[in-house]
Amino acid sequence: MALPLWWEGLGEQWRQALGVAAVLLWLALVVLLALQTRAHWPQRPEWSRKVLHIGTGPVVLIAWGLGIERWIALPAAAVVTVAAALNHRFRLLPAVEDVGRASYGTVAYGAAITTLMALFWPQRSDAVAAGVLVMACGDGLAGLLGASIASPSWTIAGQRKSLLGTATMGLVSLGVLVALRLALPAGGGLGPSLPALVAIAVAAMLLEQFALLGIDNLAVPVAVGLLWALLGAQT
C-alpha cells in the first residue's frame, strides 16, 4: 500500500507509535460498540460477538496500510490471543464469550491471526489480509444472516448450518478476495487469478462447515492465507 508523503516524512519511531495508536483506537471503538450492542440487545448475545468478529478484521488493513513492523505486529497478535484465552476462562467481557454454547472461537481467531503474522508479515501482508478478512466478513455475516433468516439447514458435528449462511460465506468471501486483488498494484504478481479466487472462496465455504468448538476460526483464515500465497505465486 502506498503511504502519503507526510507519513513517510515522519521518523520511523513516530510512524510505528502512531500506527499502534491507530490500531488500539480502532479496537477500543469495536469493543465499545460490542458492549453497546450487548446492552441494547441482551437477548441476542451472538450479535455483540459478531460485532467483534467483523470489526477485528480491518485491524490488519490498518497495520498494513500504516506499515507496522513485524516486531510489533506479531507480539501484539500473540498478546491479543492470550487475552482472548483469559477472557474465555474468566468471562471478563461477557459480550465476547456468552453465546450459549461451548466455543473457543475467539481464541482460535486470535491464534489464526498470530499464525498468519508469523508466516507472512510483512512480506506477504496481502495473504494475512486475505485470511483475516474472509473470516471477519464472510463468516461474520454468514453467522448473522444464517441465524436470523430461515432457510434449509443441516447439522455437522452438532453444529447447525444453513443454506443462506453457507451461500453468504461463499459469496462474501469471493467478494472480499476480489476486492483485495483489485486493490493490489497492477502487475505486482502477488494476487491469485479469478479462477483461483473462486477456488479459495469455495475452500473457505467448505471449511466453515466444520465449526465444532469454533475451530473454523483457525482453519479458515490460515487455509485462505496459505492458498492466497501459494496460488498467487503461480500467476
Q: What is the pLDDT of residue 53?
A: 86
Q: What is the pLDDT of residue 194?
A: 92
Task: Name the residue ranges covered by the structural domains of the chain.
Answer: 5-232
Q: What is the pLDDT of residue 2?
A: 55
112/106 Cα distance (integer angstroms):
10
The strand pairing partners of 160, in sequence order, are 155
Per-position pLDDT tens, the chain of length 235? 556 655 566 677 888 888 899 999 999 999 899 889 888 888 887 788 889 889 989 999 999 989 999 999 999 999 989 988 887 777 676 656 655 555 677 888 899 999 999 999 999 999 999 999 999 999 889 988 988 888 898 888 778 899 999 999 999 999 999 999 999 876 555 689 999 999 999 999 999 998 777 788 999 999 999 999 999 865 4
Q: What is the pLDDT of residue 221?
A: 96
Q: What is the pLDDT of residue 235?
A: 46
42 — phi, psi (to 5°)? -60, -25
195/209 Cα distance (integer angstroms):
22
Q: Is 2 left (phi over 0), alpha (psi -120 to 50) or beta?
A: beta
Do residues 52 and 128 touch, judged by C-beta distance below 8 A?
A: no
pTM over 0.95: no
Q: What is the pLDDT of residue 1?
A: 56
